[in-house]
Structure 1
Amino acid sequence: MPEHLQLTNQPLISKVKNKETMRILFACLLLVMLFATGLSKLTNRQVKWLKNETPYEKFKRQHVDAKMTAKKCDAEIKNKQIYNVDNSCKKANTFILSDYEKVKAICNGHGSPHKNTCLTESKAKFSIVKCELKNNGGRKPNCQYKGKLLTNRIVVVQCGGLPVHFEKDIVTFESNNTTTGKIPMDDTSVPTNIHV
């Protein structure tokens, strides 16, 4: 009898194992595809949400968080999707440690004009967390920040009826509960004439 017509257990067992293997591989492929589809939908939802937010909603997302700490910079910036438009890491981002209503009030009677600009500085003082980029040239999502908690700060914002842009913070010095000086703080400011 020719070899190809012989019936043996060996080829039959091999075919059964191959079918089981194929089923397992197919099931794994389906799981991977479902997982990838879910991730892309999540990402698309996030992008749609970010594109549809108002300037005030963007300001709140990027700059107002009452529970923020200096140790949470990396996690919160990633979670809140705070990047430059080209997906590079922002050089710095500041979080105001307050509720939305107190920050919103800066533009509604609890702020005053900042010098000769279209900006408004808060009358109230806030604590802030300033997150500064450690890995220059970093790109989303690998941004690493060093956070600093700063207190007794006046914040300067751009208002459009509501805060829409965080400009900077100003450190204040107090003596006997009266303000004796203000120094604007940004990346280039170095106080040299501090008298306390």
Structure 2
Amino acid sequence: MVMFLKGMGPLLLFFILGLWLVSPLTQENDREKRFLTQHFDHHPTGRDDNYCETIMRERDLTNPCKDMNTFIHADYPKIKAVCEDNAGDPYQDERFRISKSQFQVTNCRHHGGSTRPPCRYRATADSRYIVIACEHGLPVHLEKTITAKKFT
């Protein structure tokens, strides 16, 4: 066994180093995938209560019923571009970016007493600026949406 490990030393070290380098990227990709699951829908089918109830269930956001969720309706590259200077500006601190233009969004708000499925949602379609957190140029968190940017 020791002879086997001795012969595998450089290869084993290379493998462990590779895992160590890839691990943060995997975590970022997981956060980006979660962001996309929770907030990205390029081609909505309607933007009414039925849309909210269907997409919230399809995206597994109903166990328990999520109180409120916002879906952004745009090409992914346009959302991702908010993480860069050409389409986004710093917002409050270095963690957040605000879009330079508005996005079509649908807010799905839970209504009803129980937090257990079946969940009932009310839809509000709007056009709003998005405030997102970015890590290494990738959107990972939707902080909020706002109707008007305040310039000071």
* 1:132 and 1:147 in contact (8 A); partners too: yes
2:14 alignment partner in structure 1: none
Give the % identical residues. Answer: 34
**Quick one: which of 90, 115, 119 aligns to 1:143?**
119
Cα distance, 1:70–1:136 mapped onto 2, change above 3 Å: farther
Match of 2:81 in 1: 105
Tell me the matched-pair count: 118
- Once the two structures are superposed, residues 93-136 of structure 1 have per-residue CA deviations (whole angstroms, 9 ceiling, x without a partner) of 00011111110111123211112352111112111000000124
Structure 1 CA distance for aligned equivalents of residues 113 and 74 of structure 2: 29
* TM-score (normalised: structure 1): 0.56
Distance 1:98 1:133 in 2: 23
Structure 1's unaligned 5+ residue stretches are 1-52, 173-180, 183-196
- Aligned residue type for 2:66: K
Number of the residue aligned with 1:55? 31
Q: Residue in 2 aligned with 1:156? A: 131
Structure number with higher relative contact order (C-alpha < 8 Å, ≥ 6 residues apart): 2
Unaligned 5+ residue runs, structure 2?
1-28
Runs (4+) of structure 1 moved beyond 4 Å?
none
> Greater Rg, structure 1 or structure 2?
1
Structure 2 counterpart of 1:114, from 85, 91, 112: 91
> TM-score scaled to structure 2, two decimals?
0.71
- CA-based RMSD: 1.9
Q: Which residue of 2 aligns with 1:127?
A: 104
Is the contact made by 1:70 and 1:131 (CA closer than 8 Å) also made in structure 2?
no
